[in-house]
Amino acid sequence: MMKVPCRWLAEYVDIEITEEGINSLAERLTLAGLEVEEIAYVPPVSGAVVGQVLRSVPHPNSDHLSLCHLDIGSEEVDVICGASNVAEGHLVPVITVGGELPGGFKISERKLRGVTSHGMICSKAELGLESKSDGIWNFDDSLDLSIGTDINNLLEFDDYVLQIKVTSNRPDCMGIYGIAREVAAITGVELRPLDLSIKEVEPSIEEEGFSVVVEDAKDTPRYTGRLMSGVHIAASPLRLQHRLIKAGMRPLANVIDITNYVMLELGQPLHPFDADRIGRTITVQRACTGDRFRTLDDVEHDLTEDILMITDELGGLAVAGIMGGERSEIRSDTRRVLLESAAFDSNTIRHSSRALGLHSEASQRFERRVDPQGVIDASDRAAHLLQELSRCNVHKGFIDSAPGKLPERRLHLHTARVKSLLGIEIGQHEIARILGRLMLTAKADGEDLIVSIPSYRSDLVREVDLIEEVGRIYGYDRFPSTAPRGMLKLGKKDIVELYKDRVRDILIGLGMNEVITDGFDKIAWRETLGIPGDDLVSVRNPMNATQKSMRASLMPGLLSVVESNLNQRVDVGMIF
C-alpha cells in the first residue's frame, strides 16, 4: 500500500488539490489499474505561529500547571500549559486566540484556576502529526525558525493523502515519482524532472580507500556506495518531516530522513553508514550459520546461510535490504557518511526477511524488485538533497559492483493486433503517442512499431503487455459496449468424469463419506506405509513444514483424516 500526499505529488505534476479534483484523479488512477482504496484529508490549522517561551513559572493555584509568558512576534501573551517539558528559551508552536486545531477545536481565552490563558502551546499530537505525545513540541534549535512565523508556511496542511494499492508487478509505482509518471501519462500533463545535480570534491571515494566486493551477482545484481563528508546531523526541515509523516514514516534526523524521503520518492531503498565506524572494504555475502548480529532495533539475531549480509573487515554491518546494525548507525557526532544504494535479488531478500521475522519499507520494495539501473539516480538524488540541506562535501565518484548500462530491451508491436485485442479503432500514430506518454519510445517499422522498454518497467515482457498499456491509458471507460456474438453450446462431461460421478453416487448410497484432502504429502503416514518419497515434486517456497512436497498417493491423506477425527473422538464411519 502506497501513501501518496498530494502536495508532494504536485511537486512533479500539476494536479488540482481540491476535493473535487482529487476525487477525479483517484477515479482516473483506479480506472488505469492503480486502485485508490482511500483518500484521507489532512485538515488545515489556523492561527498557529512559532512562539518563544520567555518565562515559565508555576501556576499560583496549581501544582501541575505552568504560567508561560510567550513572544509570538506580533505581541507577547500569557498562556497556561500543563506539559512538564515546557522550558524558558524554547521555540514552540502556539495557537493564538481565534485559531483552530486540525480537528476543528477552536481556541479562545480561558480562565484556569483564576488565571486567563491567551492561547495554547501545542504538542505534535494536537497538530495531527502523531497519535500520542509525551509533552509539547519544542522545536529543534537547528531549524533556525523565526518567531511569529505561520506554522502553515512550515508544514503542509490542507492536503489529501491517496492510499494506492500497487500490484506486485508494478514495482516502479512504489515511489511517489512513479505515481507522478502515471498521472502525467493519464492526464497528459508534463512530468517535471528531478534535480540530481551535485558538486563533487576531491579526493574521490576510491582514493579514500573504499571498495566493494559482491560474492554472488545473483544475490546482488548491483551495489554502489557514495561518500560524503562535513555532514552535520540535525533535524530536517519541517516540510520534509511532515511529508514523511503523511507517507507513514517517522522523522529522525536529516541524513536518515533524506534516505527515507528518496525511498518514498523513487522506490529505491538507501542505507547510510557512519563512514568512520566501518572498514574500507564492503563485502556482500551470505551469513554463516551460527553467527549473531544486532540490528538497529537493539535485537540480536541468530543468522543462517539464507540471510544476505553487508559486512566489512570487522564483521556485520547490515542485513542486506532489511535493516542496518548498531555499530555503523548514524549518530549525533557522525561527520562522514557512506551511502549505500543497491539492487538485491527479490527472492533472497524475501528469504532473509522470513528467516529473521523482520519486515521494513525497504524489504517490501526489494521483495518486489528494484531497478539496478536506477540505483545511481537515487544515490545522486539523496546526495543532492543532503548537500542542499547541510552543505556537505560529496566526494567524486562511487564504488560500483556492476558499472555500465544493461542492453536496451525492445518489443515488436503489431498495430493490427492492438485493434483486434482491444476492439477499438486506433491508428499507429495514436498508439505511439500513448506509449510516449508512458516514456516508452516507439519507432515506426512499416505499419508496426518497435518499442524501447525502460529498465524500470520489468513488467513489460510481451507484446500483449504493451497492448494492455495502450488500453489503460486510452481509457477502458472509452471502450465501446458490444454485445457478445456467437452460438452458445451446452457442454457435457466426458465418459471418465461420468464414470467417476457414478462411482461416487454408489459409494455415498452405501453410507460412505467422501473425503477431500489437500494435495500435499503427509510424511509420517507415507513413511509408515513404506511409500518411497524419492520422486516427489518439491515446493520451492512452502508456507509451512507440512507443505514441502506434493502427494504421490491418496492413502496417507486418508489415514491422516481418520487420525484427526479419532483424536477429536469423531466417528466418520466408512470413507473413500
pTM recorded for the entire structure: 0.84
Asked whether residue 157 carries a pLDDT value surpassing 90, the answer given is yes
What is the pLDDT, as a whole number, of residue 398? 94
Label residue 523 by pLDDT band (50, 70, 90).
Answer: confident
Q: Residue 372's closest CA among 321, 409, 348, 406?
A: 406
Cα–Cα distance list, 494 to 497, 506, 514 (Å): 6, 19, 22
Label residue 322 by pLDDT band (50, 70, 90).
Answer: very high
Cβ-based neighbours of 544, under 8 Å, separated by 6 or more: none
Return the CATH number at 149: 2.40.50.140
> Facing residues of 441 across strands?
452
Q: Is the Cβ–Cβ distance between 92 and 85 less than 8 Å?
A: no
C-beta atoms surrounding 220 within 10 Å: 24
pLDDT digits (tens, 9 = 90+) for 22-67: 999 999 999 999 999 999 999 999 999 999 999 999 999 998 899 9
Average pLDDT of span 176-188: 97
Query: Going edge to edge, which strands form the sheet with 159-165?
Result: 2-5, 159-165, 35-42
CA distance 94 to 122: 6
Least reliable range by pLDDT among 125-134, 332-341, 398-407, 479-488? 479-488
What is the pLDDT, as a whole number, of residue 565? 85
What is the pLDDT, as a whole number, of residue 544? 80
Question: Beta 200-201 vs 393-395: how paired, if at all?
Answer: parallel
Does some domain include residue 437? yes
Average pLDDT of span 176-199: 97
What is the pLDDT, as a whole number, of residue 490? 78
Q: Are residues 372 and 501 both part of a single domain? A: no
Does some domain include residue 314? yes
- The percentage of residues in the chain with a pLDDT greater than 90, rounded to a whole number, is 79
If you average pLDDT over every residue of the chain, what do you get?
A: 93
Label residue 406 by pLDDT band (50, 70, 90).
Answer: confident
Cα–Cα distance list, 75 to 78, 118, 145, 562 (Å): 10, 11, 17, 83
Question: Beta 337-343 vs 270-274: how paired, if at all?
Answer: antiparallel
Cβ-based neighbours of 410, under 8 Å, separated by 6 or more: 450, 451, 452, 453
Average pLDDT of span 95-110: 92
Label residue 571 by pLDDT band (50, 70, 90).
Answer: confident
Label residue 543 by pLDDT band (50, 70, 90).
Answer: confident
CA distance 442 to 429: 10
Q: Are residues 414 and 465 both part of a single domain? A: yes
What is the pLDDT, as a whole number, of residue 493? 87
Q: How far is CA 394 from the centre of its chain?
A: 27
Least reliable range by pLDDT among 228-237, 243-252, 278-287, 551-560? 551-560
pLDDT digits (tens, 9 = 90+) for 487-498: 777 788 889 989
What is the pLDDT, as a whole number, of residue 454? 96
3-state SS string for 361-381: HHHHHHCCCCCHHHHHHHHHH
Q: Are residues 523 and 424 both part of a single domain? A: no
Q: Are residues 301 and 226 both part of a single domain? A: yes
Higher pLDDT, 562 or 159: 159
Label residue 556 by pLDDT band (50, 70, 90).
Answer: confident
Return the CATH number at 417: 3.30.56.10
217: left (phi over 0), alpha (psi -120 to 50) or beta: alpha
Cα–Cα distance list, 125 to 4, 153, 270, 440, 549 (Å): 21, 19, 29, 45, 51
Q: How far is CA 11 from the centre of its chain?
A: 19
> Which grid coordinates are listed for 389?
540541506
Does some domain include residue 470? yes
Cis-peptide into 43, omega within 30 deg: no
Average pLDDT of span 318-339: 96
Residue 540 DSSP label: S
Does some domain include residue 485? no
Q: Are residues 248 and 134 both part of a single domain? A: no
Average pLDDT of span 100-119: 91
Label residue 535 by pLDDT band (50, 70, 90).
Answer: confident
Question: Beta 292-294 vs 300-302: how paired, if at all?
Answer: antiparallel
Q: Are residues 459 and 506 both part of a single domain? A: no
Q: Residue 52's closest CA among 125, 113, 143, 134?
A: 143
What is the pLDDT, as a whole number, of residue 483? 79
> Which grid coordinates are listed for 147?
518567531
Label residue 484 by pLDDT band (50, 70, 90).
Answer: confident
Cα atoms in the 13 Å half-sphere on the side-chain side of 156: 23
Cα atoms in the 13 Å half-sphere on the side-chain side of 166: 23
Does some domain include residue 484? no
Does some domain include residue 193? no
Label residue 480 by pLDDT band (50, 70, 90).
Answer: confident
Label residue 532 by pLDDT band (50, 70, 90).
Answer: confident
pLDDT digits (tens, 9 = 90+) for 72-88: 999 999 999 999 999 99
Residue 556, φ and ψ in degrees, nearest 5: -60, -35
Average pLDDT of span 228-232: 97
Asked whether residue 342 carries a pLDDT value surpassing 90, the answer given is yes
Q: Are residues 230 and 348 both part of a single domain? A: yes
Q: Residue 105's closest CA among 93, 120, 92, 116?
A: 120
Q: Identify the domain containing residue 73 by its residue range.
A: 46-153
Strands (E), 59-90: 66-71, 76-81
What is the pLDDT, as a whole number, of residue 559? 87
Q: Are residues 382 and 455 both part of a single domain? A: no
Q: Are residues 320 and 251 both part of a single domain? A: yes
Q: Are residues 206 and 116 both part of a single domain? A: no
Which run of H or of E encompasses 286?
strand 281-286
Which run of H or of E encompasses 57?
strand 46-58
Measured distance between the N- and C-terminal CA atoms of the chain, rounded to whole angstroms: 45
Q: Are residues 131 and 223 both part of a single domain? A: no
Asked whether residue 485 carries a pLDDT value surpassing 80, the answer given is no
What is the pLDDT, as a whole number, of residue 218? 96
CA distance 156 to 50: 15
Asked whether residue 139 carries a pLDDT value surpassing 80, the answer given is yes
What is the pLDDT, as a whole number, of residue 519? 85
How many domains in the chain? 5
What is the pLDDT, as a whole number, of residue 492? 84
Least reliable range by pLDDT among 199-203, 278-282, 510-514? 510-514
> Facing residues of 310 across strands?
284, 318
Does some domain include residue 376? yes
Q: Are residues 315 and 336 both part of a single domain? A: yes
Asked whether residue 443 carries a pLDDT value surpassing 90, the answer given is yes
What is the pLDDT, as a whole number, of residue 393? 97
CA distance 386 to 198: 10
Label residue 547 by pLDDT band (50, 70, 90).
Answer: confident
Does some domain include residue 236? yes
What is the pLDDT, as a whole number, of residue 482? 79
Label residue 502 by pLDDT band (50, 70, 90).
Answer: very high
> Which position has the grid cell 518563544?
52
